[in-house]
Structure 1
Amino acid sequence: MPAAALSTGAVARRLGVSPTTLRSWERRYAIGPARREDGRHRRWTPQDIARLELMCRLTAQGVPPAEAARAARDGVPAAAGPAAEGRSPGGPNALPLGEVRPECRGLARAAVRLDAPAVEELLDAALAEHGLVTAWEEVIAPTLHAVGRKWASAGERYVEVEHLLSWYVSSALRRVRPAPAPGQPRTPPVLLACVPGEQHSLPMEALAAALGERGLAVRMFGPALPADALHEAVRRTGPRAVVLWAQSRTTADRALVRSVAGIEWGLRGARGHSALFLAGPGWAGAAPDVRAGRLFGLRSAVDTLDALPPGGSAP
């Protein structure tokens, strides 16, 4: 077989469909690989993949699968139904991804088709193959950003794509199992919270999962934690670090940063305070007048927090 021939799993990740879907298409519509390796294993050549790509585009535009398969086998584009014309997120309306991994393109195609089983399977495969940090930075985050750009440029369209993708990304991150706690004295946790009014919590969910993989204790409080609740959580947990996420400048409250920086916790005579870090694009351009570190990117954020002393310190 030529070196370019790919396995069914690799083709599925590239196209954003599940391997089960590819096998179903082969069985129902005779749109399978031209040859098999050793008579058993499917190996897809570039010509086979080109036919599948055409079928994916047509089905995303609303063409019935049987008709799309016929057109893909013949190499003749089929006409989309009137209900799909001008509204479908497939074809010329595909997400603007640029130069990305093939898995990223596959995830985007599955998301715009609202193919939830494929999205779930592709996310799990990316996490298993690349690890959480690489999967986030090179597959998941670029797809999420592309959905956001498409939504911003298309009015109210594609909101359903963002919601579906965000839900399954969140679910996949929560399935990542934390590493067993090391056999040493328990260390204070890292407290992660989105500032009041901030609903974008996926980057903090990714950070929570990545810290858990390192065996670090985490307290994740999700979106829009009220200021009073944030203060109480810091006092009660005595964290080694506090990370505040703000997606936009409208939610990046510098007065809140100053108040959190002044919190002390612990018994009288042994009071402590936490290292404070700001994360997210909302903090760009105007640093608060307190000592607070900045976190940029998941990988460097995990390394920075992992390197902190157990008792916490100013960044």
Structure 2
Amino acid sequence: MVAERRSESSRHGGADAALTTGAVARRLGVAPTTLRSWERRYGIGPVHHDHGRHRRWTPEDVGRVEEMCRLTALGVPPAEAARLALLGTPAGAPAGAGIPRARRGGDPGTLSLGTVRQECRGLAKAAVRLDAPAVESQLRTTLDAYGFTTGWEEVMAPALHAIGRKWASCGERYVEVEHLLSWHVSSALRRTPGTGTDHAPPPATVPVAPVLLACVPGEQHTLPLEALTAVLGERGLPTRMFGAALPAEALYEAVRRIGPSAVILWAHSRGTADRALVHLVTEKEWGVRGARGHPAVLIAGPGWSTGAGAVPYAPGVERLTGLRTGADRIESLLAG
């Protein structure tokens, strides 16, 4: 009898190897509701069920649903992908056997991610499949577990960079993947971790003038600046975020009206990095005559990089080189 149980456990993958639906969803970057829907509609799910217990996925079960994810990413309709995944690829059959010829090609789920957290792999795979519910679920789980700083540096940014490289190397393909992921990341950075709800900037706990954050004129890449805004808000620092391509005159007027403690100017490319603009911002004043104030000006983004052809810094202007260190520097300036 004991031998029979051991044999049965081995045949089912073993208790230690079996996974819950939630664990499989996190591993593959698929929403748990999607897995349940696939099981209900197409019969692709855990083969064995223990009466009165949670369903457990064996390595073989996971392999089948992973193959379905791969096929749907290639454009195969879900019903056909499930049928092929349940049949399995016959021994000796070429890779992609059974996939319509027009849909064959390199697996778009193959991204150069390197050594990253599992959540990053799941997020990238979900984005490639254009599985918006899974992307949103993965982002929510990430921010609940790690917060904005680690969530951005170790999950969101690596996934975005990998998809950007994939897009750049494939001649305009996968632009839709980058846009979908960027939109969901931007939405996630405006939510309060642990609640899943949109939020206004939290009440400031440091009694100082706000930090003004803006992209320089002509600059449309906002996500890193959105991440910095979220991290500063998480630390209780007051912010005013103006987003993409703020015109120069509007920037000067915002500085005059707000009287910020610091101004952060983001430039993603050297073509938008403007030394004259930085100089003018450093000279802006506010307040009554005899009690004028000046902002601390900090620049951020690869557009301000050093080296041949780089934009020189204005006197007294600091450059932020990372999210965590940048937030630390801003916090220390405001504390001082």
TM-score surpassing 0.5?
A: yes
* 2:334 matches 1:309: yes
Alpha-carbon shift at residue 280 of structure 1 (Å): 0.6
Assess, with a 3 A threshold, how the Cα gap between structure 1 residues 302 and 289 changes in structure 2: closer, same or farther. closer
CA distance in 1, matches of 2:55, 2:263: 50
Report the counterpart of residue 73 of structure 1 in structure 2: 86
Q: Which residue of 2 aligns with 1:105?
A: 121
Matched, 1:239 2:260: yes
Letter in 2 for 1:265: W
TM-score normalized by the length of structure 2? 0.84
Of residues 244, 249, 256, the one that matches 1:228 is 249
- Shifted more, 26-35 versus 191-200: the winner is 26-35
Matched, 1:57 2:46: no
Q: Distance in 2 between matches of 1:248 and 1:155?
A: 21
> Which secondary structure state, in structure 2, belongs to the residue aligned with residue 244 of structure 1?
strand
Shift of 1:34: 4.3
SS in structure 2 at match of 1:181:
coil
Unmatched segments (≥5 aa) in structure 1: none
Write the mapping of 1:179-218 to structure 2, written as runs, cut at 5 A: 179-182=202-205, 186-218=207-239
Compare 6-15 and 203-212 and name the one that shifted more.
Answer: 6-15
Q: How many angstroms does 1:250 deviate by?
A: 0.7
How big is the shift at 1:194?
A: 0.4
Distance 1:190 1:45 in 2: 51
Deviation at 1:307, TM superposition (A): 1.8
SS of 1:193's partner is strand
- The answer as to whether partners of 1:68 and 1:78 remain within 8 angstroms in 2 is no
Q: Following TM superposition, by how much is the alpha carbon of 1:121 offset from its aligned partner in structure 2, in angstroms?
A: 1.7
CA contact (8 A) 2:208 2:334 kept: no
Identity of aligned residues (%): 67
Change (3 A) 1:257 1:36: farther
Contact kept? 1:63, 1:78, Cα under 8 Å: no
Once residues 296 and 49 of structure 2 are traced to their aligned partners in structure 1, the CA distance between those partners, rounded to angstroms, is 58
| Stretches of structure 2 lacking an aligned partner (at least 5 in a row) | 1-13, 90-95, 193-198
Q: Secondary structure at the match of 1:188?
A: coil
Offset at 1:73?
A: 2.8
Q: How does 1:1-315 map to 2 (within 5 A)?
A: 2-35=15-48, 39-76=52-89, 78-86=97-105, 91=107, 94-176=110-192, 177=199, 178-182=201-205, 186-285=207-306, 286=310, 287-309=312-334
Question: For 1:27 and 1:78, how far apart are their aligned partners in 2?
Answer: 26
Q: d(CA) in 2 for partners of 1:299 and 1:49? A: 37
Q: Per-residue deviation at 1:193?
A: 0.4
Q: Give deviations 1:159-192, integer Å, cap 9, x for gaps.
A: 111111111111111123444433x7x4200100
Across the aligned residues of Structure 1 and Structure 2, the Cα RMSD in angstroms comes to 2.1
* Alpha-carbon offset, residue 255 of structure 1: 1.2
Separation in 2, partners of 1:302, 1:43: 43
Letter in 1 for 2:257: R
Which shows bigger deviation, 244-253 or 120-129?
A: 120-129
2-structure distance, mates of 1:263, 1:252: 19
Greater gyration radius: 2
The residue that corresponds to 2:8 in the other structure is: none
TM-score, normalised with respect to structure 1: 0.89
Alignment check: 8 A CA contact 2:204 2:233 kept: no
Higher relative contact order (CA closer than 8 Å, sequence separation 6+): 1
Shift of 1:246: 0.6
Which one is further off, 67-76 or 109-118? Answer: 67-76
In structure 2, do the counterparts of structure 1 residues 51 and 277 end up closer, same or farther at CA, with 3 Å as the change threshold? same
The structural deviation recorded for 1:288 is: 1.6
CA contact (8 A) 1:189 1:217 kept: yes
Letter in 2 for 1:296: T
Identify if the C-alpha distance between structure 1 residues 307 and 6 changes in structure 2 by more than 3 Å, giving closer, same or farther: farther
In 1, distance between residues paired with 2:294 and 2:58? 60
Number of matched pairs: 306
